[in-house]
Structure 1
Amino acid sequence: MPEQGPPPTTPDGRYVVIKGRRWRVTDPSLPSDVAALLRRHLMSARRAVRSAMSEGDQAAERAARDRVHTAKTALGERGTPWWEQDDDERRRRWEEGLTQLDAES
């Protein structure tokens, strides 16, 4: 199987392009340890969505989907675009998201 590299990005570096669709990239100003922690929360929440769906637990699915949204927002992939925020707003976004996700774990 051929080795795949990272997906292509738009010239401005704000989006990756996957199967012709643009997806916002993670805020590049995030410290690498914070980004890694937020990605762990994101993946845990995605696993919880899958588990809740297989069990037919709508309340657990809603809670897990909310955690996915919180993680993606903290990463800068949802909500106000990170390139429209100043440094303080960007820091506040990921700090608040991380605080909320840590409290829910």
Structure 2
Amino acid sequence: MSSERRAERTPDGRYVVIDGRRWRATDPLLPEDVAARLRSELMSARRAVGQALRARDAAAERAARDRVHAAKVALGERGTPWWEQSEDERRARWEAGPG
């Protein structure tokens, strides 16, 4: 059995559905190199959350979770929905992101 998840976009393109659950999609206006950098930061931050949990280090966990949040906002997956932002606001969001 494959553990690969299949993501389908909703007809409006704003969300992906994974295992029956709807999640906000990454901003499609993001240049691929920026999106790749932000996804890399997101994965690094998620690994740091796990390390902090295993170490039972609350301060490190908080810092790692803040990094996760910052990457998700920069990707357009949290915060003001990307479809409600102008192109300039969207660009400012990802340029202010981590990394």
The equivalent of 1:88 in structure 2 is: 88
| Cα distance, 1:18–1:6 mapped onto 2, change above 3 Å | closer
Question: Does the 8 A contact of 2:52 with 2:61 survive in 1?
Answer: yes
Q: CA deviation at 1:19?
A: 2.3
Q: CA deviation at 1:5?
A: 7.5
Instruction: Give 5+ residue unaligned stretches, structure 2.
Output: none
Greater Cα offset, 13-22 or 53-62: 13-22
Q: Runs (4+) of structure 1 moved beyond 3 Å?
A: none
The equivalent of 1:17 in structure 2 is: 17
CA RMSD in angstroms, aligned pairs only: 1.7
For residue 8 of structure 2, give the secondary structure of its aligned residue in structure 1.
Answer: coil
Identity, % of aligned pairs? 70
The equivalent of 1:53 in structure 2 is: 53
State TM-score, norm by structure 2: 0.93
The equivalent of 1:66 in structure 2 is: 66
Greater relative contact order (Cα < 8 A, sep 6+): 2
State TM-score, norm by structure 1: 0.88
Question: Does the 8 A contact of 2:46 with 2:68 survive in 1?
Answer: yes
The answer to whether 1:35 aligns with 2:35 is yes
What do the CA deviations read for 1:48-87 (whole angstroms, capped 9, x no partner)?
A: 0000000000000000000000000000000000000000
Instruction: Give 5+ residue unaligned stretches, structure 1.
Output: none
